């Protein structure tokens, strides 16, 4: 747990310092490509990657698992063992370097194929200076965008081979290896090769560019989609399309005109030409298989080409790669089901050249019992989801639109779910809702909206659907104002980390609507012995014995005796550790024992906390639902943020239920830590410096 806490703190600090940006990629699994290569060169060895070894587990866990027929006889070979003259890239990376193997990752190959259309983008993912010449040491590296940051992934060049042939991606020539090595690096990032099976082209698009994806259902295509596609291609955006399947039998089925259902294609070009006295709009598609091609109108050998200018025909057909074909745009809309566009930069999203889009990224998480509230269908828990505010300040510049509205795009992405496939899990069903913030709440900061807010209001916009994809994104136009974005899973108690990205065309402000850390602690109670009634004094004398002080063990005895009399409370009793924390909170002289006055003050606190507990035990079951913990702690004087609530629920709740002793322990811990910090932060700066000895003293005593 402690390494996890320190890791999260360091992660936040690294982000603030720019680590993970385009200019400063994070070393994935702390592997430094340059240092590792230099070590191999000095030692005269080739790199063996201990973190993604040439073993069955790197291939997969089920279809490609250790006992699968598909992996029987698989060996791992380096390119130097497969080709007399292996090359990394020959004559520049092209789409023909990418041929699909035995893995169902055509979505990834379609994205790689589109990437080759933009050499600048390609070399962001495939860094320069890698080959099989004098600096060869069996080590390569690739860079991917992952959930808000760029990571540098190191691999060795051992590739899976069966019957002498590469098992997965390969080049048509057989001696070029950049695409196979890129696929391996991406497999390492996701846990195994099998984890790459099945996906959306936009997933690959975004991981190669850091861009944001939009999806169009072609049966409901906007009227200006052809223009949108043309503009997207001009800007270097990546485009993919596919045909939906209606059953498992349809997967990879070939239609009458040689289109493959459920298969990911790339869109590589558009062209408008004169055809029989009218303008014909064409679109160029590529099948990453490079073998099965469209045979309908405007296919390579169709009669339509005979009716256009021969020079134009030669130009259009000669520039095509293997697996590439033209078709009419109307036929495209009829034959294909969906189009995916990955806009490379926020400004590429704009509808006109004068627009400028800005972006902000938030990282968050849904945790059972604290921040995983599910969708609006679950009103009792929906409010506990993370919340983010966007203030739209300036309306769009669109002379043809008389509506005062602001354009923005919201993209919600769940993190690292492919790695969970090994454990039988997959993508959660996710989405988001947007609420207009009413006048009485405008301008407020650091306020997490409660249940009543959502019970009384409907959303003004929402994601098109809740769906089990890695990312859900939608574009909106709303009037200037303040809005609340609530991302969630469809069902409550589904745990995942997520990234929320908000893109706005004009000036805007965004913020995490999380509560600001506040502890409204009462002034430390001062009482004299004269304030204590005789019955309490008598009780203390019975418990404390001759030394007139109560030890930790004696405190435990009396507390458990008292709570056992409250039949309406469900409790396992106070532990020794809990009682030590109480003594630590009240002990002023360091004796680790409580005198009469200290015990009276502690007793008063416990009675106050018992009242709060009963108030929020809504069903009078004797315990509290963890979803109400936030409100109960607020009542006790503590406003905490989501990260702290997640930690407290993980520590003090059992199956989303909190009993009285754990509730009390939580309040004791919070008050102790806040009082220590406030005592050290004399100037109220919110920051405390301490050395190792002081840190250990605080954490051990607190």
Q: Could you state, in order of their start, the residue ranges of all structural domains in the chain?
A: 18-209, 212-343, 354-395+424-467+477-514, 529-701
- Residue 513 clears pLDDT 60, i.e. is over it: yes
Q: What is the pLDDT of residues 158-201, one digit of tens each?
A: 999 998 888 888 887 788 899 999 999 999 999 999 988 877 77
User: Of 350, 454, 462, which Cα lies nearest the Cα of 406?
Assistant: 350
- Residue 346 clears pLDDT 50, i.e. is over it: no
pLDDT band at 93 (very low <50, low <70, confident <90, very high): low
The CATH architecture assigned to 212-343 reads Alpha-Beta Complex (3.90)
Rounded Cα distance, 415 and 457, in Å? 30
Enclosing H/E stretch for 61: none
Rounded Cα distance, 569 and 623, in Å? 7
pLDDT band at 154 (very low <50, low <70, confident <90, very high): very high
Residue percentage of the chain with pLDDT more than 90 = 42
Q: Which fold has domain 354-395+424-467+477-514?
A: Jelly Rolls (2.60.120)
All residues at 6 or more sequence positions from 191 whose CB lies less than 8 Å from its CB, including other chains: 418, 419, 421, 422
Tally of CB atoms within 10 A around 390: 24
pLDDT band at 398 (very low <50, low <70, confident <90, very high): low
Is there a catalytic annotation at residue 263? yes
- Residue 248 clears pLDDT 70, i.e. is over it: no
- The angle that helices 576-586 and 552-565 make with each other, rounded to 10 degrees, is 110
Tally of CB atoms within 10 A around 150: 21
Distances (CA, A) of 591 to 10, 549, 594, 675, 676: 36, 10, 8, 19, 18
User: Of 224, 220, 103, 213, which Cα lies nearest the Cα of 168?
Assistant: 103
pLDDT band at 50 (very low <50, low <70, confident <90, very high): very high
Predicted local confidence at residue 231, as pLDDT: 81
User: Of 33, 322, 28, 277, which Cα lies nearest the Cα of 150?
Assistant: 28
Is there a catalytic annotation at residue 318? no
For the segment 487-501, the average pLDDT, to the nearest whole number, is 95
Predicted local confidence at residue 397, as pLDDT: 66
Residue from 141, 190, 241, 287 carrying the catalytic annotation? 287
Predicted local confidence at residue 433, as pLDDT: 98
pLDDT band at 237 (very low <50, low <70, confident <90, very high): confident
Distances (CA, A) of 291 to 95, 108, 115, 197, 260: 13, 17, 20, 20, 11
**Tokens 């800005």 identify what position?**
358
Sign of CA dihedral 529, 531, 532, 533: positive
In terms of DSSP bridges, do strands 165-166 and 159-162 run parallel, antiparallel, or are they unpaired?
Answer: antiparallel
Torsion, Cα of 118, 121, 122, 124 (10° steps): 160
**End-to-end distance of the chain based on CA atoms, in angstroms?**
17
Tally of CB atoms within 10 A around 221: 16
Q: What is the pLDDT of residues 305-329, one digit of tens each?
A: 999 988 899 889 877 767 889 999 9
Asked if 9 and 16 count as a contact pair (C-beta separation under 8 A), the reply is no
pLDDT band at 354 (very low <50, low <70, confident <90, very high): very low
Residue from 263, 385, 448, 662 carrying the catalytic annotation? 263
Fold agreement between 212-343 and 354-395+424-467+477-514: no
**How many residues appear in the chain?**
702
- The pair of structure tokens assigned to 60 is 């997969």
Asked if 350 and 356 count as a contact pair (C-beta separation under 8 A), the reply is yes
All residues at 6 or more sequence positions from 665 whose CB lies less than 8 Å from its CB, including other chains: 574, 578, 581, 652
Burial class of residue 14 in the structure, from the number of CB atoms within 10 Å of its CB (0-12 exposed, 13-18 middle, 19+ buried):
middle
**For residue 309, which phi and psi values (nearest 5 degrees)?**
-55, 130
Helix, strand, coil percentages for the chain (3-state, nearest 5): 35, 20, 40
Asked if 88 and 81 count as a contact pair (C-beta separation under 8 A), the reply is no
- The pair of structure tokens assigned to 562 is 């008292």
Asked if 490 and 609 count as a contact pair (C-beta separation under 8 A), the reply is no
Rounded Cα distance, 96 and 319, in Å? 13
Is there a catalytic annotation at residue 287? yes
Residue from 106, 241, 406, 623 carrying the catalytic annotation? 106
Maximum distance among all Cα pairs of the chain, rounded to whole angstroms: 112
Rounded Cα distance, 196 and 189, in Å? 10
**For residue 115, which phi and psi values (nearest 5 degrees)?**
-60, -35
Enclosing H/E stretch for 307: none
Burial class of residue 675 in the structure, from the number of CB atoms within 10 Å of its CB (0-12 exposed, 13-18 middle, 19+ buried):
middle
The CATH architecture assigned to 529-701 reads Orthogonal Bundle (1.10)
Predicted local confidence at residue 349, as pLDDT: 42
Sign of CA dihedral 436, 437, 442, 443: negative
All residues at 6 or more sequence positions from 229 whose CB lies less than 8 Å from its CB, including other chains: 239, 267, 270, 283, 339, 341
């Amino acid at each position: 747990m402690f390494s996890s806490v320190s890791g999260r703190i360091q992660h936040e600090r690294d982000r603030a310092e720019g680590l993970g940006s385009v200019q400063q990629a994070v070393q994935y699994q702390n592997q430094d490509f340059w240092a590792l290569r230099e070590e191999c060169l000095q030692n005269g060895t080739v790199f063996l990657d201990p973190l993604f070894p040439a073993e069955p587990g790197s291939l997969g866990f089920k279809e490609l698992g250790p006992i699968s027929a598909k992996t029987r006889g698989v060996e791992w070979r380096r390119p130097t063992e497969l080709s007399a003259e292996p090359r990394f890239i020959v004559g520049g990376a092209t789409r023909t370097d990418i041929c699909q193997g035995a893995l169902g990752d055509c979505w990834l190959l379609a994205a790689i194929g589109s990437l080759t259309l933009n050499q600048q983008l390609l070399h962001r993912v495939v860094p320069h200076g890698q080959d099989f010449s004098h600096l060869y040491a069996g080590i390569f590296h690739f860079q991917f965008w992952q959930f808000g940051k760029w990571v540098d992934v190191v691999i060795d060049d051992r590739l899976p081979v069966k019957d002498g042939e590469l098992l997965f991606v390969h080049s048509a020539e057989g001696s070029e290896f950049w695409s196979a090595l890129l696929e391996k690096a991406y497999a390492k990032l996701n846990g195994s090769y099998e984890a790459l099976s099945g996906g959306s082209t936009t997933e690959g698009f975004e991981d190669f560019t850091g861009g944001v994806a939009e999806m169009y259902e072609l049966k409901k295509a906007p009227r200006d989609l052809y223009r949108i596609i043309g503009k997207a291609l001009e800007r270097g955006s990546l485009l993919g399309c596919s045909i939906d399947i209606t059953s498992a039998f349809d997967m990879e089925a070939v239609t009458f005109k040689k289109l493959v259902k459920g298969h990911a294609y790339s869109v590589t070009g558009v062209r408008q030409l004169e055809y029989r006295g009218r303008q014909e709009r064409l679109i160029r598609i590529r099948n990453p298989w490079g073998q099965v091609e469209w045979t309908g109108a405007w296919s390579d050998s169709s009669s339509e080409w005979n009716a256009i200018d021969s020079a134009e025909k030669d130009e259009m057909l000669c520039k095509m790669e293997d697996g590439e074909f033209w078709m009419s745009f109307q036929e495209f809309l009829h034959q294909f089901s969906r189009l995916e566009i990955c806009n490379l930069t926020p400004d590429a999203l704009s509808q006109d050249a004068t627009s400028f889009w800005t972006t902000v990224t938030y990282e968050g998480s849904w945790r059972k019992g604290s921040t995983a509230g599910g969708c609006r269908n679950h009103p009792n828990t929906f409010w506990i989801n993370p919340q983010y505010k966007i203030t739209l300040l300036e309306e769009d510049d669109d002379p043809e639109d008389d509506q005062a509205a602001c354009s923005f795009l919201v993209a919600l992405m769940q993190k690292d779910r492919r790695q969970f496939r090994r454990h039988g899990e997959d993508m959660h069903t996710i989405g988001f809702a947007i609420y207009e913030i009413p006048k009485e709440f405008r301008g407020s900061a650091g306020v997490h909206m409660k249940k009543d807010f959502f019970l009384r209001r409907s959303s003004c916009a929402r994601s098109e659907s809740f769906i089990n994809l890695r990312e859900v994104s939608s574009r909106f136009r709303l009037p200037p104002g303040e809005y609340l974005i609530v991302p969630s899973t469809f069902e409550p108690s589904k745990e995942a980390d997520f990234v929320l990205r908000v893109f706005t065309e004009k000036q805007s402000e965004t913020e995490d609507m999380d509560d600001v850390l506040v502890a409204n602690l009462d002034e430390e109670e001062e009482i004299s012995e004269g304030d204590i009634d005789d019955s309490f004094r008598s009780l203390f004398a019975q418990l404390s014995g001759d030394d007139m002080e109560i030890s930790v063990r004696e405190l435990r005895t009396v507390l458990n005796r008292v709570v056992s009399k409250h039949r309406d409370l469900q409790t396992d009793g106070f532990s020794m550790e809990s009682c030590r924390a109480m003594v630590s909170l009240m002990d002023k002289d360091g004796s680790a024992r409580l005198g009469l006055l200290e015990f009276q003050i502690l007793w008063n606190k416990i009675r106050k906390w018992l009242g709060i507990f009963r108030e929020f035990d809504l069903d009078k079951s004797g315990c509290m639902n963890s979803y109400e913990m936030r409100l109960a702690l607020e009542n006790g004087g503590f406003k905490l943020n989501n990260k702290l609530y997640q930690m407290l629920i993980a520590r003090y709740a059992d199956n989303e239920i909190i009993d009285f002793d754990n509730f009390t322990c939580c309040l004791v811990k919070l008050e102790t830590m806040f009082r220590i910090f406030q005592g050290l932060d004399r100037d109220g700066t919110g920051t405390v410096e301490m050395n190792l000895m002081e840190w250990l003293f605080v954490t051990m005593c607190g």
